[in-house]
Amino acid sequence: MKEAAPRTFVEKMGNNFQTSNPDLYKKGKLKKANILLKQGNNDGCKSTLLDAFDLCSVFRHYRPAEYKIWKKYRDNEARKAADAKKARDEKEKQDRGGDYMNPYR
């Protein structure tokens, strides 16, 4: 798999992206994210980029295919979390012997 380089990724988004987001360059946020990525700190890189700008809107506008993939993944993860919570609640309800939200049982 080819290693992703942030500069290459930004260049693919065009000049409009670079000129419409000057804070990324003035405050060195992209450079910091690149350093964190090279150090293997993926979570730090992601949080730096999330703090810098709204990645969802950037992907939706510039890379709609990747945004659709990410949205499917995010929705799937949210569905898994909701199902897990529902299963925990049902188990807790069974363990307590009925409707645990009802104080008059």
| pLDDT the model gives residue 65 | 87
What's the CA gap between 18 and 8, in Å, rounded? 12
Q: Which of 65, 4, 61 is nearest to 37 (CA)?
A: 4
Q: Where are the domains of the chain?
A: 1-59, 63-105
Residues in the chain: 105
The pLDDT tens digits along the chain (105 residues) read: 455 566 666 666 666 666 666 666 667 787 888 898 899 988 888 888 877 777 677 778 778 888 888 889 889 999 999 999 999 988 888 877 655 556 565
| pLDDT the model gives residue 83 | 94
Q: pTM higher than 0.85, yes or no? A: no
| pLDDT the model gives residue 10 | 61
Element spanning 67, H or E: helix 64-95
